């Protein structure tokens, strides 16, 4: 028996499949980035505090080059080998890490030097992931515990501080400040997740983050009811990299006699309220085939009794009874993956599964077994999710009632061919499906359908069965709403060119990336992906624009997602969302006009249906944002464009077909193209703040038809104007401390003929946009 993860698997991902217990026993602890033994393969050497790599400054190959930490790029000067003699070799083995001048004092500089085998070039692995010089007895240390690019690396008295912890291999994301760090290789404060949970204060009134580095953590986990407000955060590239797993089943004998029972079989039992989990896997790998004679094959991965639980991008793996949602639970699952075959989502609690994948394994069976009390209106809601599987066609029921009156709604979801089309619901013992509260609404796919055995919600009824309604309870809890829309407005939401709107990677797998190679791999994939960028990714070579294929969402995690010294290129693609990122820093002071290298933060050529939202674009090598060659059906909203010559250029075509909405952007400390709008059929610019612009603001050129309304121009030269045959309609704008052209003419077009929108007062924009543009912590 194999526990299956998300399928198909993203290319090149760390995806060693969870297998039978024997496989796990053989691997013991398989940690991505675990310390390598002597004579191991060449790999990056990562400072675990920052996630940055030990780097030879400038890639200098001459002896005497200093060392620093820098964003991991895979370059030869970031590859290291710990030899059997204790040497740390780099640059193809031609140079060794060396204590300069045979120094033995704290602060001695570390350099590279010709490998001699001398004792000042020999290092050993110490406790907690440290590297100890054999000659000095001092530890390899990041100066002052800093995490910034370019921080020097030196020798210092060993103190076990995070600045002295190193790992070989793929870097994990840096742990949030103040978190309890778990690492199976000993580079964290705790080796097991349970140890970290036990260390959390009882009844903590504030949230405690337990950051778990990549690895496999075997053994049962309990979060008791007196440990509320705990977050389990996986620091890997994807949920596959952090795995909490055990192998007990209901019939497994207990050491003291008896059996565990279904409840006792759980790998993780969570009772503390307000529990959060993100970017990890919880699995039960009980081997049914090897234990065929054992009664009771129920094997729970997660038993959830937490009220107000949020699980985002979490994989739950098992066979029978994978996820138990207890009567006491109220839970929101987003972008999750749940695998099993019999009743693998069951229980009497209230749970919403939003954009999740429900994976039926090889045999047919039952997806849900709800036991919702008849006194409770809401049980399970599957919203915009996917029901997939390798089971035979028409072999699987959507569910059966574990208790009479059970409640399940499956709405706006894609149902695979394995779902029984004629009879998706069935009985369980004396509880009949007809007496349960089973409903569907607007499902699609080969397993979808209507008929007498498939009760449907009406449009009016569906309004009462939303994620928000399910989770509100008596306290109005709403983890679904972050205050930011999850779909675009404006022209990106308008149908055209074969698309009904812009959805990006919706419906595809969600992955988290922390390095350039992973970002490039997923961005270029032929299938949809939601790509979460965690932390800074330094792009090499300098200024490279990473190609983005169709059907992608690239979104920053919190406010940390950054594409540094590079950009993104959308060429002849469609349906792309770019949100919540900082992009840029490719400016060359010797080339202020970008005549050399055209290093844009975001460049779009011939693309359509693109949403660019809540990004910070700054100091690019050419334009911060270029929309060229008939790129159309674009919405640019709530971005900050700053500290640059050319902000936003639109055109580079003789055709007049493009349609763009540009609203609620803060364009400041720029010179030209704010934006320059050339040959755009419909350009709608509203509620933007232009501030400290030295050359010109909004300029309509060629055959453009532009509507410029309720914008605020503060210290802007030539706030708005037209050239050639362009038409520009202006209304409701505020112009303050600005001089120069303010010209308009014609009727342009009526934006409300294409979509609806609401205007903020132009006078409110300076205060409004100062906090609402650029990356936001609660966008996800």
Neighbours of 103 (CB within 10 A): 19
CB 254: neighbour CB atoms within 10 A? 11
- What tokens were used for 626? 């270029």
Q: State the catalytic residue, choosing from 141, 285, 341, 343.
A: 343
Pairwise CA distance, residues 76 & 726, whole Å: 53
259 alpha carbon, distance to own chain's centre: 40
343 is catalytic: yes
Distance CA 339, CA 373 (A): 25
Four-CA torsion 219, 225, 228, 230, nearest 10 degrees = 10
Rounded CA separation 345/360 (Å):
11
- Phi first, then psi: what are they for 136, rounded to 5°? -95, -25
Query: Which residue in this structure is represented by tokens 């909203």?
Result: 637
Positive or negative, the Cα torsion across 164, 170, 176, 181?
Answer: negative
Task: Say if strands 43-47 and 166-168 run parallel, antiparallel, or are unpaired.
Answer: antiparallel
Q: Is residue 53 classed as helix, strand or coil in its secondary structure?
A: strand
Q: What whole-number distance in Å separates Cα of residue 101 and Cα of residue 163?
A: 23
The three-point CA angle 438-440-445 to 5° equals 135
Residue 631 · residue 576 · CB < 8 Å: no
Structure-block tokens of residue 677: 């709008």
Distance between CA atoms of residues 405 and 412, nearest Å? 23
Task: Calculate the alpha carbon distances from 432 to 18, 253, 436, 438, 601 in Å.
Answer: 36, 33, 7, 11, 58
CA separation for the pair 495, 337 (Å, rounded): 31
**H/E segment holding residue 471:** helix 467-471
Burial class from Cβ neighbours inside 10 Å (0-12, 13-18, 19+) for residue 445 reads middle
How many Cβ atoms are within 10 Å of 741's Cβ, its own excluded? 15
Strand partners, 144: none
Cis before 8 (ω within 30) = yes
> Which positions ≥6 away from 474 have C-beta within 8 Å?
none
- CA-nearest of 712, 719, 583, 604 to 650 is 604
Q: Are 160 and 140 in contact (CB under 8 A)?
A: no
Q: Is 393 exposed, middle or buried (0-12, 13-18, 19+ CB in 10 A)?
A: middle
Q: Please tell me the distance from the alpha carbon of residue 322 to that of residue 334, in angstroms, as a whole number.
A: 17
**Pair type for strands 529-533 and 552-556:** parallel
Question: Which residues form the catalytic set?
Answer: 343
């Amino acid at each position: 028996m194999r526990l299956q993860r998300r399928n198909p698997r993203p290319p090149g991902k760390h995806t060693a499949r969870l297998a039978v217990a024997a496989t796990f026993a053989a691997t013991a602890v398989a940690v991505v980035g675990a310390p390598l033994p002597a004579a191991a393969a060449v790999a990056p050497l990562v400072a675990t505090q920052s996630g940055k790599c030990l780097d030879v400054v400038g890639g200098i190959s001459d002896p005497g080059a200093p060392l620093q930490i820098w964003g991991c790029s895979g370059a030869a000067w970031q590859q290291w080998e710990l030899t059997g003699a204790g040497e740390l070799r780099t640059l193809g083995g031609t140079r060794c890490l060396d204590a300069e001048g045979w120094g033995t004092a704290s602060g001695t500089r570390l350099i590279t030097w010709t490998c001699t085998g001398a004792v000042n070039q020999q290092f050993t692995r110490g406790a907690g992931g440290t590297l100890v010089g054999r000659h000095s007895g001092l530890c390899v240390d990041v100066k002052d515990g800093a995490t910034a690019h370019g921080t020097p690396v030196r020798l210092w008295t060993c103190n076990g501080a995070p600045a002295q912890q190193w790992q070989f291999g793929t870097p994990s994301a840096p742990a949030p400040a103040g978190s309890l760090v778990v690492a199976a290789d000993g580079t964290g404060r705790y080796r097991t997740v349970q140890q970290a949970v036990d260390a959390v204060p009882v009844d903590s009134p504030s949230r405690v983050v337990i950051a778990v580095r990549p690895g496999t953590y075997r053994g049962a986990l309990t979060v008791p009811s007196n440990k509320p407000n705990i977050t389990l955060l996986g620091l890997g590239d994807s949920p596959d990299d952090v795995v909490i797993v055990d192998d007990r089943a209901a019939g497994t004998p207990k050491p003291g006699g008896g059996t565990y029972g279904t409840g006792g079989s759980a790998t993780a039992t969570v009772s503390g309220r307000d529990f959060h989990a993100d970017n990890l896997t919880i699995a039960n790998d009980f081997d049914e085939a090897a234990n065929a004679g054992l009664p009771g094959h129920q094997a729970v991965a997660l038993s959830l009794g937490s009220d107000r639980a949020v699980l985002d991008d979490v994989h739950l793996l098992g066979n029978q009874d994978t996820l138990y949602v207890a009567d006491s639970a109220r839970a929101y699952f987003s972008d999750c993956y749940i695998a099993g075959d019999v009743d693998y989502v069951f229980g009497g609690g209230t749970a919403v599964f939003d954009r999740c994948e429900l994976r039926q394994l090889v045999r047919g069976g039952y997806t849900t077994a709800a036991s919702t009390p008849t006194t409770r209106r809401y049980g399970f809601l599957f919203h915009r999710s996917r029901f997939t599987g390798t089971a035979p066609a028409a072999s699987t029921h959507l569910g059966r009632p574990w208790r009479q009156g059970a409640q399940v709604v499956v709405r706006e979801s894609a149902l695979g061919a394995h779902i029984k089309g004629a009879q998706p619901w069935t009985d369980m013992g004396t509880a009949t499906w007809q007496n349960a509260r089973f409903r569907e609404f607007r499902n699609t796919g080969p397993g979808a359908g209507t008929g007498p055995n498939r009760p449907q919600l009406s449009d009016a009824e569906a309004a009462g069965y939303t994620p928000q309604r399910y989770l509100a309870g008596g306290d109005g809890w709403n983890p679904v709403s972050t205050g930011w829309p999850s779909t675009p407005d404006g022209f990106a939401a308008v149908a055209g060119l074969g698309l009904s709107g812009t959805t990006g990677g919706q419906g595809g797998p969600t992955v988290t990336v922390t390095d350039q190679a992973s970002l490039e791999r997923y961005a270029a994939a032929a299938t949809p992906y939601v790509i979460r960028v965690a932390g800074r990714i330094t792009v090499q070579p300098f200024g490279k624009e990473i190609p983005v294929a169709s059907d992608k969402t690239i979104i920053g995690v919190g406010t940390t997602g950054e594409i540094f010294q590079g950009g993104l290129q959308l060429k002849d693609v469609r349906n792309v969302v770019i949100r919540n990122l900082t992009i840029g820093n490719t400016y060359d002071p010797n080339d202020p006009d970008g005549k050399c290298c055209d290093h844009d933060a975001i460049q779009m050529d011939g693309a359509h249906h693109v949403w660019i939202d809540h990004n910070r674009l700054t100091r690019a090598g050419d334009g911060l944002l270029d929309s060229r060659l008939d790129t159309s059906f674009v919405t640019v909203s709530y971005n900050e464009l700053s500290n640059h010559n050319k902000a936003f250029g639109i055109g580079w075509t003789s055709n007049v077909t493009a349609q763009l909405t540009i609203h609620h952007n803060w364009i400041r400390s720029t010179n030209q193209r704010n934006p320059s709008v050339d040959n755009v059929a419909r350009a709608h610019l509203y509620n933007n703040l232009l501030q400290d612009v030295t050359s010109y603001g909004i300029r309509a050129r060629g055959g453009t038809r532009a509507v410029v309304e309720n914008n605020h121009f503060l210290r802007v030269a030539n706030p708005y104007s037209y050239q050639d045959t362009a038409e520009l309609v202006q209304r409701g704008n505020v112009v303050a401390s600005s001089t120069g052209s303010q010209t308009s003419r014609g009727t342009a077009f009526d934006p409300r003929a294409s979509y609806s929108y609401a205007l903020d007062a132009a006078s409110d924009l300076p205060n409004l946009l100062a906090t609402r543009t650029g990356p936001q912590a609660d966008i996800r």
